[in-house]
Every structure is written in structure tokens, then in C-alpha cells.
Amino acid sequence: MELRNMTAAGLAAKIKAKEVTVAEAAQEVLDCIEEKESLYHCYVTVDKEAVLKKAEEIQQKIDCGELDGLLAGVPVAVKDNLCTEGMRTTCSSKILENFVPTYSAEAVRNLEKAGMLVIGKTNMDEFAMGSTTETSAFGVTRNPWDVERVPGGSSGGSAAAVAAEECFAALGSDTGGSIRQPASFCGVVGMKPTYGTVSRYGLIAYGSSLDQIGPITKDVTDCAALLEVIASHDEKDSTSVRREDTDFTSALTEDVRGMKIGIPRDYFGDGLDAEVKEAVRRAAGVLEEKGAVVEEFDLSLVEYAIPAYYTIAAAEASSNLERFDGIKYGYRTAEYEGLHNMYKKSRSEGFGAEVKRRIMLGSFVLSSGYYDAYYLKALKVKALIKKAFDDAFAKYDILLGPVAPTTAPKLGESLADPIKMYLGDIYTISVNLAGLPAISLPCGKDTKGMPIGLQLIGDCFQEKTLIRAAYTYEKAGKEHGYKDGKTI
Amino acid sequence: MGMANIISDETIEYVGILAKLELSGEEKEAAKKDMGRMLDYIDQLGELDTEGVEPMSHVFSVQNVFREDVVTNGDMREEILKNAPGEKDGMFMVPRTFE
């Protein structure tokens, strides 16, 4: 087996056994990037020299026994909305084109503490607003399965980098499906943990009540291991949850006997591609054969999640993005008259169209006269959606459905009609509104050869149940994902 | 009732002030159309009876979290100022704010 085909956990074992050095692993990834980056454009920034230097440092610490974590020595990519000390962090926006953070996000620190090697920063939709990675100010990322198609978004660079073997694993962030949907489109595994499980300190905020950082990996084992690395309680994030059950790799067992799985009928209605539907149904059948009890039910309120989500996310975005004012960091317009004109011109020239669209909408729904009718109404609907999930989890251990209504669309097909694009988030966004954990994993390909994703949704703090079910499916299913190492 | 009709030029002007965005004439027209469509779409939330439902801002019943206000980072003035578009004598340089 070639080095690049290994999983993150497989590579870590080889490094531990002294069969591979960290420098060799790093060089392999840099070679892959050199070969494939002109095709796919997964990264915004890669710092080769720093990577090779750090590889030596990590090797020394592994050799003297200071580092013996699950994934020590493994090269990992980080979405470009996570601050990395001394390494440019852009959010794929012109407004942060030259921003170099003076500190690292807590999730990135956790990677480093575990001895993982940050390779670079991956491309994304500008400020994580989008489903295709086409709103990046630095050019599109292409899907490694078909370069004419999008990798999904907003963590499209991370998902494509894992699929293309330009890293062994990656971090993404998920506000409305931004980890799960690109993972699905690129044939890899992605997980959005329970809200509060991974510290958001140093994650450049989009919708703070919805944002959560999570792993994008080649398989379920890597997903559990990487989640175990990044999950931690953090005083610097007031919404961080103290959990004692973050030994996620202990859930890597093949056993779903008696597990109650609910399939929301509402997830199989109009708009769902027939091939996606069939693949997801087949996946449910595999889990049933393995002893799970599968049943259909009505979740309700599914169609209301999208308007509620876009109201809340836009409101929070308009507030969070106020900080980009051309004073302390970021882009400043060349010519201006006075302070306010400078703010307005800097922001108008620095932000892209989709970001401006959401800031405008958010400012409107929070403005006096409309606050109750829109923003508060959306928060009430969020409460109803949460209640619908509570009722579902009173009956079922996990829920099963598709990740997205279709496989990856062609480049240039999505942005012209925003509402149509937002409808593509229908199966992922209610998970963020309710703070739930959910995993996306490959469950086949369509006739165009594009990967199809299976989504498993758990109750709050039930990541281990999800991992157990996903691992069982992965072991049983003949269908695999990611492009270069494994085939279906 | 659709909301599209309430998005007037004045509304777009006002929201532009709140959002601190200066839109070109073309962008304003696009924003009017976009926002109108989006609000029409969001209006379907009105179909749901939310009488007596508490607005949920956070999924868990979190309380404010306090910690001692202790400085843990060192002096990073130079590194921080490197990111500033305007800098003078160790300070952020801003346009004149008082005449």
C-alpha cells in the first residue's frame, strides 16, 4: 500500500512502529499537493517549509515518548476559518486576504497537542456562506470525482483534500450542513458533533448558535479518532460543554443489534433524487440485516427549518461580521471621506455578493419593527423543531436519511438562484437548529459516478451511538467512498 | 400577504445604513429583489401557530459562565499591529473622527 492511501489511524500506527517518519508522511502529502493542486485547488495556503520543520519537531517528541496520541505525526488540513497562529487565515474572503492571527483556535491547539501536523488551510465558501465553495474569493475548488462538479460547501476544500489524498484528514465547520454535505459530495466521512463539544474559540464566527467544528476523514475510525482529539471543554468558549464521554474510539464496535432507527418519511418526499433515495434505503436495509430495528415515522416541520435557519443565521452573521471595519485588521479601501465612509466602502469592496446578501437580510430581520415578526418568530419555530426531535428520540436511538437531495451539481449551476440553493440544505440544517450530532458517510454512487451520502442523526451527546452504527455499516457495506485509496 | 411590496428604496437605504454597506445602484436593485423573495419565503413561518412558545436562543439551558479576569497572554502589540491597515507610533491609525 502506498503511503498516501493509508488512513490517518493506519499512518499513525506506522509512525508509532517506526516504519514511517513524520517527515516522510509530510513529504508524501506535499508531493500529492504538488501533483494535484492545479486540478482541484483544495488549499488557500500551504507553508511547505514550516511543515517540514514542524515534522522534525514532532518526530523528536514521538521518539522521546512525549507524544503518543491516537493520531500523532499525522498531517491534517484545517479549514481557513480556523485561526492558526502565524499562518494566514482568510475565510476565503478578500476582506481577510492578509490576516495573520496571533493565536490558534482551540481545536487547532488540540491537534497540535496531540502531535498532528497542520499542513495548510483549505478553501471554503466566503465566511462559510454557501453550499458549493464557489463563493470563495480565491477561486473554486473542484470535486476530485469529476472536476466539472462542485465539491459541496462550505467546507469544500477540506472534503476535496481528503478525497484527493492531499491530506490524511481535515477539520471543517458546520453551520447548516457545511461538513456533512461536502463529505457526501466527495465520498468521505464527515461529522458535526453536538453543539458545545468542540470549542469555537478561534473559529471566525458565522452563526454562533449553530457553528460547530468537526472532522472530515477517509473512514469512520479516523472520524472517531479525530473527534476524540479535538473535543474538549474550554473556558474561553462560554458555550463549551464539559463532557466526560469523549473517548469516541471506544464506540468503534460492530453492533447495532436492537438499535432503534427511525426514518423520517418527510426526508423522502419531492425533490429527492431517485438514485439517492434508493441508495439510502439500501443502507437502511444493511443496518436492519445487522439487527437494527428500522421504522418509518413523521418527523414534521421539515420544510420550516430552512426559513427559520436562514433568518437566524443571517441575523447572527450580520452581528458577527460587524467587526470587519477596516481598522484593526483586514482590508481597507484606498480612498474615503471620513470614518463612516471608510467603514462602508471597506466592507462593500471587501465582502462578496453572498455575504452582503446575508448581512442585508440579517440587518433587516433584526431591525426595529421586524424583529418580532421575523427573528423572534424564527426562534420560536426553532423551539418547535427541537421539540419534534425530542419526540423522535423518545422513540428512536438514531434517525437515518439522505444528506442532500442530489449528488454534486456542476460548477456554475447553483449560485444564480439562492432559494433553490438553500433548499439543498433541507436534510442538514434542522440538525444545527436543534444542536444535534450527525454523521455523513458514503453509501454508494449514482449512475454518473458521483458519491451518495448517508446521514445518521443522533440525540444530543449520543455521538457514540452514531459512530457504532456508522462503523457497523461501513464494515458491512460493500460500498466505500473516498476517491483514490478505495473504490466501490 | 407577500412582503416583497414592503421592500422599498427607502428600506434598502435604511438597511444599508444598519449593515454599513454602500451598494451600487445595480446592487440595490438586486438586493431589493433578493430580499423580497427571501422574505416571501420566510413568511411561510407565519403558517405555524407559535402562541405561547418561548423563543429558543440556545438549545441547552446554559447560564452565563464566569471566570477570573486574569491576563494569560503576553504583549503581542507588534504582531497585532502588523494586521492593521493603518499604523502609527504603535497605534491603530484611523480617519479623523472629530472636526
Inter-chain touch B83–A378, beta carbons under 8 Å: no
Inter-chain touch A98–B83, beta carbons under 8 Å: yes
CB pairs below 8 Å between A and B: how many?
Answer: 164
A125: left (phi over 0), alpha (psi -120 to 50) or beta: beta
Residues of A forming the active site: 79, 154, 178
List, as own/partner pairs, every contact residues A373-379 make where C-beta atoms lie below 8 angstroms and the sequence separation is at least 24, other chains included.
A374/A311, A374/B39, A374/B42, A375/A311, A375/A312, A375/A315, A376/B55, A377/A311, A377/B45, A377/B46, A377/B50, A378/A307, A378/A308, A378/A309, A378/A311, A378/A312, A378/A315, A378/B42, A378/B45, A379/A312, A379/B55, A379/B56, A379/B57
Residue B61 pLDDT level (bands cut at 50, 70, 90): confident
Residue B66 pLDDT level (bands cut at 50, 70, 90): confident
Smallest Cβ–Cβ distance between A383 and the set B11, B55, B67 belongs to B55
Interface with chain A: mutation pick from B18, B45, B54, B56, highest number of A CBs within 10 Å: B56
Quick check: is B98 in a domain? Answer: no
Q: How many domains does chain B have?
A: 1
Shortest alpha-carbon distance between residue A117 and chain B (Å): 23
Residue B3 pLDDT level (bands cut at 50, 70, 90): very low
Quick check: is B20 in a domain? Answer: yes
Quick check: is B22 in a domain? Answer: yes
**Quick one: which of A316, A301, A281 has its CA closest to A210?**
A316
Smallest Cβ–Cβ distance between A195 and the set B23, B48, B59 belongs to B59
* Bridge pairing between strands A75-79 and A169-174: parallel
Inter-chain touch B50–A378, beta carbons under 8 Å: no
* Bridge pairing between strands A293-297 and A260-264: parallel
Cα A202 to Cα A91: distance, rounded to the nearest angstrom: 12
Collapse the DSSP code of A389 into the 3-class scheme (helix H, G, I; strand E, B; otherwise coil) and give the result. helix
Interface with chain A: mutation pick from B38, B40, B57, highest number of A CBs within 10 Å: B38
Quick check: is B29 in a domain? Answer: yes
Inter-chain touch B20–A361, beta carbons under 8 Å: no
Quick check: is B13 in a domain? Answer: yes
Domain annotation for chain A: domains and CATH numbers: 3-236+437-476 (3.90.1300.10)
In terms of DSSP H, where are the helices of A164-273?
A: 180-186, 220-230
Q: Give the position of cell 453572498.
A: A354
Read off the CATH number of the domain in which B23 is found. 1.10.20.60
Per residue in B41-55, pLDDT (tens digit) is: 999 999 999 999 999
Segments forming the whole domain that contains residue B10: 4-47
Listing DSSP states for A155-167 in one string gives SHHHHHHHHTTSS
Cα B70 to Cα B28: distance, rounded to the nearest angstrom: 47
Beta strands in A68-142 (DSSP E): 75-79, 117-122
Cα angle value B29/A368/B22 (rounded, 5°): 35
**In contact, A188 and A218? CB cutoff 8 Å:** yes
Smallest Cβ–Cβ distance between B20 and the set A338, A347, A377 belongs to A347
The one-digit pLDDT tens for each residue of chain A (488 residues) are 789 999 999 999 999 999 999 999 999 999 999 999 999 999 999 999 999 999 999 999 999 999 989 999 999 999 999 999 999 999 999 999 999 999 999 999 999 999 999 999 999 999 999 999 999 999 999 999 999 999 999 999 999 999 999 999 999 999 999 999 999 999 999 999 999 999 999 999 999 999 999 999 999 999 999 999 999 999 999 999 999 999 999 999 999 999 999 999 999 998 999 999 999 999 999 999 999 999 999 999 999 999 999 999 999 999 999 999 999 999 999 999 999 999 999 999 999 999 999 999 999 999 999 999 999 999 999 999 999 999 999 999 999 999 999 999 999 999 888 888 888 999 999 999 999 999 999 999 999 999 999 999 999 999 999 999 999 999 997 656 656 655 44
Length of chain A: 488
> Residue A217 forms beta bridges with which residues?
A169, A189
**Residues of A with CB below 8 A from B77's CB?**
none
Quick check: is B83 in a domain? Answer: no
End-to-end CA distance of chain B: 48
Quick check: is B17 in a domain? Answer: yes
Q: What is the DSSP letter of B96?
A: -
pLDDT value of residue B1: 44
pLDDT value of residue A104: 98
Cα A86 to Cα A101: distance, rounded to the nearest angstrom: 6
Provide the grid cell at A196. 458545545
Quick check: is B32 in a domain? Answer: yes
Residue A471 backbone dihedrals phi, psi, to 5 degrees: -65, -40
Residue B6 pLDDT level (bands cut at 50, 70, 90): low
Inter-chain touch B15–A363, beta carbons under 8 Å: yes
pLDDT value of residue A119: 97
- Does ipTM exceed 0.95? no
Cα A50 to Cα A27: distance, rounded to the nearest angstrom: 12
